[in-house]
Amino acid sequence: MTGISQKMLTQHLKELQRHGVVHRESFHEVPPRVEYSKTKAGEELLEALGPLCDWATKHIELINAPEAG
């Protein structure tokens, strides 16, 4: 991923794991390997966020507009 440091990505993934949104699997290999996957709750969250993402895409100009004030 671009635009995020490894440290921040790891912190966010750990938080998502604590909340049950993602599953972390460690492989005891050389070099060490870790894989993340969505849980059932993660799948449901993506389904719920879909309409919000659609709305944001449709109204991107509104979202990016400078604040009045």
Share of the chain above pLDDT 90, in %: 84
Domain boundaries, the chain: 6-64
Query: Has residue 68 got a pLDDT over 70?
Result: no
Architecture of domain 6-64: Orthogonal Bundle (1.10)
The confidence score (pLDDT) of residue 67 equals: 79
Sign of the C-alpha dihedral, residues 60, 65, 68, 69?
Answer: positive
Backbone angles phi, psi at 4, to 5 degrees: -145, 140
Integer Cα distance of 15 and 63 in angstroms:
27
pLDDT at residue 1, rounded to an integer: 65
